[in-house]
Amino acid sequence: MLVNCNSCQKKFSVPDSAITEAGRLLQCGSCGNKWMQYPIKKEKTTQEETKKEKSTTSTNIKSKKPQKFKDSSKKKKRSINLYSEEYLKKKHGLEIKNPSTNKNKIKISPGSNFLKYLIISIVLLLAIFGILNLTKEMIVIDYPLTEPYINLFYQTIEDLKIIILSFVN
């Protein structure tokens, strides 16, 4: 069967079996236009053939049941809450414990925040000292006047280290 594009009038050869009576969506390879193509009916000369065709189409129409499409806008409501304790225990074996019933609570006193800040400050200072120690030579090359200050700073750190170790021992 020869098919013409509606847009650019280009002709295509399509096998007759590819286009059914329900039609087929075709796309032009040249311009990209899409259209629905139905089979081209051949004229029949005898009345008997036309009567046979009418009788077969009428029986086909009667035998076909209309398709029912599901309404996707209606959603079923779940009868079970997926986050309920019973469902989670039954399906996944999880038990949810209420934290208010737990008697082994650890109470944090307000003074413990000071210790947290102290530890964080010490770790931060140690990180800064380590970075300064790694980049000490580059800083001295770029800024030669800072060398005595950096050496004094590290001498002070060594003195503090000796004092702390003497208290610990």
More confident residue, 101 or 151: 151
User: Of 104-108, 110-114, 130-134, 136-140, where does mean pLDDT reach its minimum?
Assistant: 104-108
Residue 24, beta-bridge partner list: 37
pTM metric for this prediction: 0.30
pLDDT tens across 41-69, in order? 765 444 555 555 555 555 555 555 555 55
Nearest-angstrom CA–CA distance, 97 and 84: 12
Place of tokens 């003074």: 111
80: in domain: no
Query: Would you say residue 66 lies in a domain?
Result: no
**Is the residue at 20 inside a domain?**
yes
Is 52 inside a domain boundary?
no
Q: Are 64 and 45 in contact (CB under 8 A)?
A: no
Would you state the structure tokens that stand for residue 49, as one six-digit string? 């053939």
Taking only the tens place, the pLDDT of each residue in 58-115 is 555 555 555 555 555 666 676 777 778 888 888 888 887 776 665 565 565 666 788 8
Structural domain contains residue 131: yes
Query: Is 140 contained in some domain?
Result: yes
Pairing mode, if any, of strands 34-37 and 2-4? Answer: unpaired
Contact call for residues 10 and 31 (beta carbons, < 8 A) = yes
Spatial contact of 40 and 1, defined as CB atoms under 8 Å apart: yes
Residue 14 lies in a domain: yes
Task: Kindly state the tokens that stand for 70.
Answer: 């599901």
Cα gap 112→110, rounded to integer Å: 6
Give the whole-angstrom CA distance, residue 50 versus residue 44: 7
Domain count, the chain: 2
Supply the range of the domain harboring residue 25: 2-46
Paired residues of 37 in beta bridges = 24
Residue 69 within any structural domain of the chain: no
